Structure 1
């Protein structure tokens, strides 16, 4: 598999892992009768701060997947993975770092680091888009 396809698969798998963790915790909350099965909000607003951050970290992945995943997929379909391969792993690392920082803290330093990881993804995505468009 090319680095581009590995990064795309990794992005999807990371998003799935975050969802799985959230759902396993929700199952535990239901089984322990802490929260009724119909008592969950999509943003976990009625749960712990960690669960709220987990929901947001997952949502960040889902929001970014059509954009960044789309660029990776376009490169594959156009036979242009030489454009995306060199930064594919850096992109995936920045995506995972952003989520992990989000899960760990909302301190000013953590938010700055999280934004930095997101800015790296934006820069890489913009570079890929321009190159794929032939600019």
Structure 2
């Protein structure tokens, strides 16, 4: 598997792992009768700050997957992964870093670092989009 498909698989897997974590924690709350099964807000707004950050980290992955994943799929389908392979794992790493920072802190420094990780992803995506359009 080339780096582009590995990064796409990793991105999807990371998104799934965040979902599994969120639903495991929600299930625990239901089993402990702390929250009724119909008592969850989509953003976990009625739960702990960590659960709220987890919902946003998962949503961020879902929001980014069509853009970042789409470019990787386009490269794979058009036989141009040589264009995306060099930065594919950087994109995945910065996505994981962004999520981990989101889960751990909302301090000014953390938010700035999280944005930096996201900005790297956007720059990579812009580069890929331009390269794919002009190849």
Cα distance in structure 2, aligned partners of 1:106 and 1:128: 30
Deviations 1:16-67 (A, max 9, x none): 0000000000000000000000000100000000000000000000000000
Q: Which residue of the partner structure matches residue 60 of structure 1?
A: 60
Q: Which residue of the partner structure matches residue 19 of structure 1?
A: 19
Deviations 1:105-129 (A, max 9, x none): 0000000000000000000000000
Structure 1: gaps spanning 5 or more residues: none
Q: How does 1:1-135 map to 2 (within 5 A)?
A: 1-134=1-134
| RMSD (Å), alpha carbons | 0.6
TM-score, normalization by structure 2: 0.99
Structure 2: gaps spanning 5 or more residues: none
Cα distance in structure 2, aligned partners of 1:103 and 1:130: 32
Cα distance in structure 1, aligned partners of 2:15 and 2:89: 16
